[in-house]
Structure formats: C-alpha cells, structure tokens
C-alpha cells in the first residue's frame, strides 16, 4: 500500500465516523430539548466534521428564523453534555468528541437565491 493510500483510508474512516455522529446527534435532537430558547425555532444540522485527532466534532446548524440563531446556538452549547449522552445511546464510539456548534446560513442563502431566480422568471414572463 502506498503512503497516500493510508491517508485516504484514514480520511474515509473519519468521514464515516462524522456521518454516524451527525445521525446520532440528529436523532438526539429529534427527541427534543426542554430549553425555552429552542421554542419557535426550526433547527437543521447541515454538516459535521470530525477533527483529525477525533477530539472535536464541528457541527454546522441552520436556524430559522435567522434572528433566533444566536439564542439557539447558546442553548445547544449549554446542552452539549446532554446531547453527547444522548448520542452515546445511538452510536458506539470509544470516546465521544467535544461538540462545537456554528451557524450555517447556507440554507437561508439558497432560499434567497431561489426566491431571486423565481422573481426573475416571473418578471421575464410578463415582458
């Protein structure tokens, strides 16, 4: 096996682990958090990346309405220990990584882009 084959194998393993952890987090979140900061907000996990040393899972989340983002991020950070315990019920892993949450506005940008395109299409049809 060539040296870069080992790196590719490690990367694939990290991707599989991050994907399993993301699914476990989504399941745990779907069970609900009893934090009032989460009320009236729609939360979507947009991605998860495991650090090379496996110590941290960086989780991208999209929050609607957008102005609830900082409030929901605070709730998620506060509940990190509870979320890790819940995740441990759904995935077997030697050591659960630290959860690091960050806002991802890609869904909001995509919706704005689609709305802009739809507006362009309707204005072309009226010309």
From first to last of its 127 residues, the chain has per-residue pLDDT tens of 455 544 455 566 788 999 999 999 999 999 988 899 999 999 999 999 999 999 999 999 999 999 999 999 999 999 999 999 999 999 998 899 999 999 998 766 677 777 788 776 666 655 5
> Which structure tokens are listed for 68?
């609830």
Contact (CB, 8 A) for 47 and 101: no
- pTM of the complete model: 0.76
Q: Which domains does the chain have, with CATH numbers?
A: 3-125 (3.30.300.20)
Task: Give 67: exposed, middle or buried? Use CB within 10 Å, 0-12, 13-18, 19+.
Answer: exposed
């Amino acid at each position: 096996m060539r040296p870069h084959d080992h790196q590719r194998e490690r990367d694939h393993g990290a991707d599989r682990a991050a994907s399993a952890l993301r699914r476990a987090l989504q399941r745990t979140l779907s069970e609900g958090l009893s934090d009032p900061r989460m009320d009236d907000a729609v939360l979507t996990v947009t991605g998860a990346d495991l650090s090379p040393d496996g110590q941290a899972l960086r989780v991208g989340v999209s929050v609607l309405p957008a102005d609830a983002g900082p409030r929901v991020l605070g709730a998620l950070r506060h509940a990190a220990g509870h979320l890790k315990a819940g995740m441990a019920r759904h995935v077997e892993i030697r050591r659960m990584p630290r959860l690091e949450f960050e806002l991802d506005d890609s869904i909001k940008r995509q919706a704005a882009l689609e709305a802009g395109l739809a507006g362009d299409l309707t204005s072309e049809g009226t010309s």
